[in-house]
């Protein structure tokens, strides 16, 4: 794990996240990524509830996930996040590593946009916060 990230969140696989094969069900990786994005934004002082009350919704427009090495119950892992701006979109690159051997479990890319008062739009306050956060790395 040599890449610089904007945010890293340690996590642990819970039993109920695994399927009959004893590995994390693919849908749970999306949950891990979403939780990481929310924790990242919270660390910057951004509240989804407050944004929504102002008529601003940050929403996912697209997700791709490439699965590499399965995680199993009890595995500790790092959910790593880097982001960049592309026009009106923010692209969140997620890498999830198993802590014990630093093997990559999956790589994801999440495209996010903002809906302001019901219309696709840039929300300047959020853009400013994210640009400051990404400039620090």
Question: Rounded to an integer, what distance in angstroms lies between the CA atom of residue 98 and that of residue 11?
Answer: 10
Asked if residues 123 and 116 have their Cβ atoms less than 8 Å apart, the reply is yes
Residue 60 near residue 82, CB atoms below 8 Å = no
Residue with tokens 């994005």: 37
Choosing from 4, 15, 19, 86, which is the catalytic residue?
A: 19
Burial of 46 from C-beta contacts in 10 A (0-12 / 13-18 / 19+): middle
Gap between the Cα atoms of 22 and 20, Å rounded: 5
4 is catalytic: no
What number of residues does the chain have? 137
| Dist CA 74 CA 50 (whole Å) | 34
Q: Which residues are catalytic?
A: 19
């Amino acid at each position: 794990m040599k890449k610089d990230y904007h945010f890293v969140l340690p996590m642990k696989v819970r039993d109920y996240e695994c399927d009959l094969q004893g590995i994390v069900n693919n849908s749970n990786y999306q949950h891990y990524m979403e939780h990481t994005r929310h924790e990242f934004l919270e660390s910057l002082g951004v509240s989804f509830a407050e944004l929504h009350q102002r008529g601003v919704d940050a929403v996912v427009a697209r997700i791709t996930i490439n699965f590499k090495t399965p995680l199993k119950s009890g595995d500790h892992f790092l959910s790593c996040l880097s982001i960049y701006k592309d026009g009106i979109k923010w692209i969140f690159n997620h890498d999830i590593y198993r802590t014990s051997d630093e093997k990559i479990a999956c790589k994801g890319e999440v495209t996010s946009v903002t809906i302001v008062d019901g219309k696709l739009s840039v929300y300047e306050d959020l853009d400013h916060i994210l640009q400051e956060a990404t400039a620090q790395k």
